């Protein structure tokens, strides 16, 4: 071990700055940082050293340890293999094992001497022989990849054959697990991830990736925790772990894990958005808007983020602020259907039905088959006292969507408001034929039957309506059609 290793780490940093061309100083510093701080910080020191020592084999070897310690097993192995090919004898290997390795607590010697990455110092089976056999198989795999670029299912058999021939090739097993995952063969993918973990219990990547496909959420959380124990700075793993916690209902724990992501992480904004959505899902829209506000501040050109921001204000009943956010979406994407629709809904809530009609008609030129746009166009026309236009719009919509129960319901309501009672009852019955639980369709029928003096039929239809929506009982006394029956004991029972 270098005598530099005994120097206090602060002094060692200073010494390296004063003597940047001394490789042993750098190696000692990297080891100390790995042991006393973190592998990630050690890797940062490696990057600085590489600017000076471009192809130093010992620096490459210690960099491979940093990568393995961070869960980047494949990259670490490949780099180590390159390093050892360029070094004569076993000098680097000996230093790697005796000096470097003890400073990386989560990298085992078994992992280090994986045959895929490093020559085995065995007399009767030299590295070159094993390497050439593996190289030949790898070349065949590359050829299979090239020939089946658009047919990934054809790669399973050659990869399985390679794994069978080289059972210690952990990276090939990992590739096979990922391939099976991509092909939606989840059971086989889980099998190969488990084989990777059995062969290399320190492969954090395998734990993280297996967690994403395990159907048992508690087991998935446990796998993620094992991955984080091995690689606590693996940001993708932490993000997925936090997402699992949120999905399982452990909201505070999940939010706290999301907040542990560094602000410069590529997952940081997604983490904030996940927190916002978790608050939205539980109905705490003020907190949801708070975190979504941080999202839009960091991604000002993200139309979807602004759209989500607007949704939270709409849920709070702050339609003016919601409208402002939807307008920002439309500035970024003038054909954003959801934002256009939401803008129309906010205008309607603010009593600006004519403006809402204009927006909805424009949106339908972009997406003419969007059912909700037709539904709300009819509603806003009706609110604008353009009842006959609303009826025509619903007829046009039903020519496109003849099995849409809500459209038949609304058309029945519009006919009723226009005094067209026969048409109203016909449309309401069509709505019920499609969806018997349409309580307002039963209500429309009851209203028509009341106006026709059909007490028994009216009472029966009203019972169907109130049974499906008990809140409608409080509206019976307010409906003009039911006024003649308000003192009727049978109707009084429904109202109570």
**Owner of token pair 């004519």:** 354
DSSP 183-214: TT-HHHHHHHHHHHHHH-TT-HHHHHHHHTT-
CA dihedral 64, 70, 72, 78 (to 10 degrees): 0
Distance between CA atoms of 325 and 344, rounded to whole angstroms? 13
Distance between CA atoms of 239 and 39, rounded to whole angstroms? 20
Contact 127, 120 (CB under 8 A): yes
Contact 202, 213 (CB under 8 A): no
- Phi and psi based region of residue 419 (left: phi greater than 0; alpha: psi -120 to 50; beta: remaining): left
- Token code pair at residue 112: 């280090």
Distance between CA atoms of 214 and 190, rounded to whole angstroms? 8
pLDDT of the chain, 496 residues: tens digit per residue = 444 456 677 888 888 888 888 888 888 888 888 888 888 888 888 888 888 887 788 888 888 888 888 877 777 877 777 777 666 555 677 777 777 778 887 777 666 665 444 433 333 344 455 556 666 666 676 777 677 778 888 888 888 888 888 887 888 888 889 989 989 999 999 999 999 999 888 888 899 999 999 999 999 999 999 999 988 888 999 999 999 999 999 999 999 999 999 998 889 999 999 999 999 999 999 999 999 999 999 999 999 999 999 999 999 999 999 999 999 999 999 999 999 999 999 999 999 999 999 999 999 999 999 999 999 999 999 999 999 999 999 999 999 999 999 999 999 999 999 999 999 999 999 999 999 999 999 999 999 999 999 999 999 999 999 999 999 999 999 999 999 999 999 999 998 7
How far CA 192 is from CA of 179, 187, 396, in Å, comes to 10, 9, 55
Distance between CA atoms of 391 and 382, rounded to whole angstroms? 9
How far CA 280 is from CA of 267, 291, 314, 473, in Å, comes to 20, 10, 12, 31
pLDDT at 68: 85
Report which of 444, 453, 454 is spatially closest to residue 479, judged by C-alpha positions. 444
- Token code pair at residue 241: 């772990």
- Token code pair at residue 477: 């006394």
CB neighbours of residue 369 within 10 Å: 10
Distance between CA atoms of 149 and 136, rounded to whole angstroms? 20
pLDDT at 159: 84
Q: Which residues of 93-116 are buried (b: 16+ CB within 10 A; e: fewer)?
A: bebbeebbbebbebbeeebbbbbb
Q: Which domains does the chain have, with CATH numbers?
A: 3-121 (1.25.40.10), 403-496 (1.25.40.10)
How far CA 317 is from CA of 276, 320, 345, in Å, comes to 17, 9, 12
Cα 149 versus chain centre, distance: 27
Distance between CA atoms of 196 and 178, rounded to whole angstroms? 11
Contact 380, 357 (CB under 8 A): yes
How far CA 372 is from CA of 91, 279, 335, 426, 442, in Å, comes to 72, 26, 16, 22, 22
CA dihedral 18, 24, 29, 35 (to 10 degrees): -170
DSSP annotation of 168 reads T
Distance between CA atoms of 300 and 308, rounded to whole angstroms? 13
Distance between CA atoms of 394 and 378, rounded to whole angstroms? 6
Contact 152, 179 (CB under 8 A): yes
How far CA 302 is from CA of 114, 275, 320, 363, in Å, comes to 44, 17, 21, 20
pLDDT at 355: 97
How far CA 464 is from CA of 256, 406, 436, 447, 451, in Å, comes to 48, 17, 9, 13, 18
- Token code pair at residue 383: 């609110």
From the number of C-beta atoms within 10 Å of its C-beta (0-12, 13-18, 19+), residue 403 rates as exposed
Distance between CA atoms of 320 and 334, rounded to whole angstroms? 20
- Token code pair at residue 332: 């970024």
> In this predicted model, what pLDDT tens digit does every residue of 87-116 receive, in sequence order?
655 567 777 777 777 888 777 766 666 544
pLDDT at 88: 52
CB neighbours of residue 486 within 10 Å: 12
Give SS3 for 429.
helix
């Amino acid at each position: 071990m270098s005598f530099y290793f005994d120097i206090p780490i602060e002094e060692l940093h200073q010494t390296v700055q004063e003597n940047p061309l001394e490789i042993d100083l750098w190696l000692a510093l990297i080891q100390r940082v790995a042991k006393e701080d973190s592998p990630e910080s050690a890797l940062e020191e490696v990057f600085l050293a590489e600017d000076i020592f471009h192809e130093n084999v010992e620096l490459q070897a210690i960099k491979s340890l940093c990568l393995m310690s961070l869960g980047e097993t494949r990259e670490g192995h490949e780099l180590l293999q390159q390093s050892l090919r360029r070094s004569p004898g076993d000098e680097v290997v000996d230093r790697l094992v005796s000096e470097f390795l003890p400073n990386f607590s989560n990298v085992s010697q078994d992992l280090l001497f994986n045959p895929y990455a490093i020559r085995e110092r065995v007399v009767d089976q030299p590295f070159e022989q094993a390497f050439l056999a593996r190289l030949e198989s790898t070349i065949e795999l590359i050829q299979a990849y090239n020939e089946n670029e658009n047919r990934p299912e054809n790669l399973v058999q050659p990869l399985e054959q390679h794994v069978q021939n080289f059972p210690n090739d952990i990276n090939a097993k990992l590739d096979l697990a990922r391939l099976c995952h991509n092909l939606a063969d989840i059971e086989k993918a889980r099998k190969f991830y488990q084989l990777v973990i059995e062969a290399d219990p320190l492969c954090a990547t395998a734990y993280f990736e297996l967690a994403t496909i395990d159907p048992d959420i508690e087991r998935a959380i446990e796998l993620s925790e094992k991955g984080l124990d091995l690689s606590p700075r693996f940001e993708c793993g932490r993000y997925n772990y936090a997402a699992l916690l949120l999905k399982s209902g452990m909201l505070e724990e999940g939010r706290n894990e999301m907040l542990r992501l560094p602000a410069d992480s590529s997952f940081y904004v997604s983490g904030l958005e996940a927190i916002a959505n978790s608050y939205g899902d539980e109905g705490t829209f003020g907190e949801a808007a708070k975190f979504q506000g941080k999202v839009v501040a960091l991604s000002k050109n993200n139309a979807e983020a602004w759209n989500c921001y607007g949704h939270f204000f709409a849920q709070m009943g702050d339609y003016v602020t919601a409208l402002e956010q939807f307008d920002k979406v439309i500035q970024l994407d003038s054909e954003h259907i959801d934002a256009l629709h939401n803008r129309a809904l906010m205008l309607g809530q603010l009593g600006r039905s004519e403006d809402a009609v204009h927006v909805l008609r424009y949106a339908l030129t972009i997406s003419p088959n969007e059912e909700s746009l037709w539904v709300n166009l009819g509603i806003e026309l009706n609110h604008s006292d353009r009842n006959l236009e609303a009826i025509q719009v619903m007829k046009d919509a039903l020519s496109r969507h003849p099995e849409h129960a809500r459209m038949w319901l609304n058309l029945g309501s519009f006919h009723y408001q226009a005094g067209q009672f026969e048409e109203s009852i016909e449309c309401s019955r069509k709505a019920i034929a499609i969806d018997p639980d349409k309580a307002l369709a039963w209500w429309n029928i009851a209203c028509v039957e009341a106006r026709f003096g059909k007490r028994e039929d009216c009472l029966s239809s009203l019972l169907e309506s109130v049974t499906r929506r008990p809140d409608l009982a409080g509206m019976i006394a307010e409906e003009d059609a039911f006024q003649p029956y308000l003192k009727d004991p049978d109707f009084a029972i429904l109202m109570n």
